Amino acid sequence: MHIFITGGAGFIGSHLTEKLIAEGHAVTVLDDLSTGRRENLAAVESAPGFTFVEGSILDAALVQRLTDKADFVIHLAAAVGVKLIMDEPSRSILTNVGGTENVLKAALREKTPIFIASTSEVYGKTTKFPFREDDDLTIGATKNLRWSYACAKTLDEFLALAYAREAALPVVILRFFNTTGPRQTGRYGMVVPNFVEAALDGRPLLVHGTGEQSRCFGHVHDAVEAILRLMKTPDAFGQVFNVANDEEVTIRGLAEAVIAATGSQSAIQLIPYSDVYPEGFEDMARRLPDVSKLERFTGFRPRLPLARVISDVVSEKRAARGGA
């Protein structure tokens, strides 16, 4: 198959590209390199069937041209990371909504099967656990701009599922939960690489709020495997899936695990959210996914443990420092 991946030079996209090339597929990557990096694709740059196009998903004509050549589209390009969303909310909304609309309209021409990346953020302030794909969503007030990302991705989902119902477009929604692993950068507030870098430097690990808020961190290899399984599951079209590991940890517990894994003498320092984010930020105490639907449809359940996630990120960061 010829697969078109938007955001393919990014963290998840580059791992997915490598796997698809290894399986013998042709892959075209579109990325504007605003958050993705060309070096993420170094392993496949000279591979037969691989094409890289530098450009924006907001360029509708370019998106249409690349989609027309594809047998399958995986739309991962987005403005991501809480810090980026808070710093540049208007650009983030435009990218996330306008870009997705362009990709969906392009896929509509030939009814090209398409996966749309969404996020656990859409669950908002929901307090019913674990989060199931058909649960009601509870989003915060519009004055709190943190919720602009959740609203934009929710609109992406509505639009995709509307095309599925009205035009029989084969669409799958992927709700990613805190996917991490090698190649993820801490530049946009991603907590695991930030903690690992701080621990290796001997700097304090900065934990926001009380540190008792909990999250579930999934390995990027599991996320890629979930995508590949869903691509081979025709019954998945028209559905929404949580793509996640359900191993829960507090952020303080995560910091402690990183310190232990690195053998660091770093301290844990609690800092108020107001010292990090502009006005309009609020956090959730807990995020816990139900992944039974993914397992039911594909026979696969993400299980790589947090210890493996941390170990792989530590190994990568140490290698980048020459093994230090």
Give backbone dihedrals phi and psi of 181, rounded to 5 degrees, phi first: 140, -170
Look at residue 169 in the predicted model and tell me its pLDDT: 98
Within 13 Å and on the Cβ side, how many CA atoms surround 55? 18
How far apart CA 263 and CA 243 sit, in angstroms, is 31
Q: Above 90 in pLDDT, residue 149?
A: no
Pick the CATH number of 2-181+219-245+288-303 from 3.40.50.10440, 3.40.50.720, 3.40.50.300, 3.40.50.10470: 3.40.50.720
Look at residue 83 in the predicted model and tell me its pLDDT: 61
Average pLDDT (120-134) is 95
Distant-in-sequence, close-in-space partners of 42: CB < 8 Å, separation ≥ 6: none
Q: Above 80 in pLDDT, residue 181?
A: yes
Instruction: Return the minimum-mean-pLDDT range out of 73-87, 142-156, 202-216.
Output: 73-87
Instruction: With cut-offs at 50, 70 and 90, classify the pLDDT of residue 3.
Output: very high
Q: Peptide bond before 130: cis, by omega within 30 degrees of 0?
A: yes
Q: Above 70 in pLDDT, residue 82?
A: no
69 SS3 class? coil
Tell me, what amino acid is at 65?
R
pLDDT, tens digit (0-9, with 9 covering 90-100), for 37-51 = 999 999 999 999 999
Residue 88's alpha-carbon distances to 50, 141, 145, 186, 277, in angstroms, are: 32, 18, 10, 17, 12
Instruction: With cut-offs at 50, 70 and 90, classify the pLDDT of residue 189.
Output: low
pLDDT, tens digit (0-9, with 9 covering 90-100), for 231-282 = 999 999 999 999 999 999 999 999 999 999 999 999 999 999 777 766 666 7
298 close to 247: Cβ distance less than 8 angstroms: no
Q: How are strands ordered across the β-sheet holding 72-75?
A: 50-54, 26-31, 2-6, 72-75, 114-119, 171-176, 239-243
- The yes-or-no answer on residue 149 being catalytic is yes
182 close to 246: Cβ distance less than 8 angstroms: no
Look at residue 111 in the predicted model and tell me its pLDDT: 98
Residue 204 corresponds to which tokens in the numbers above? 């304090």
> Would you list the domain boundaries of the chain?
2-181+219-245+288-303
Residue 138's alpha-carbon distances to 2, 248, 284, in angstroms, are: 38, 21, 11
Q: Above 90 in pLDDT, residue 26?
A: yes
From the list 149, 163, 273, 277, the catalytic residue is: 149
How far apart CA 58 and CA 96 sit, in angstroms, is 9
Q: Above 60 in pLDDT, residue 324?
A: no
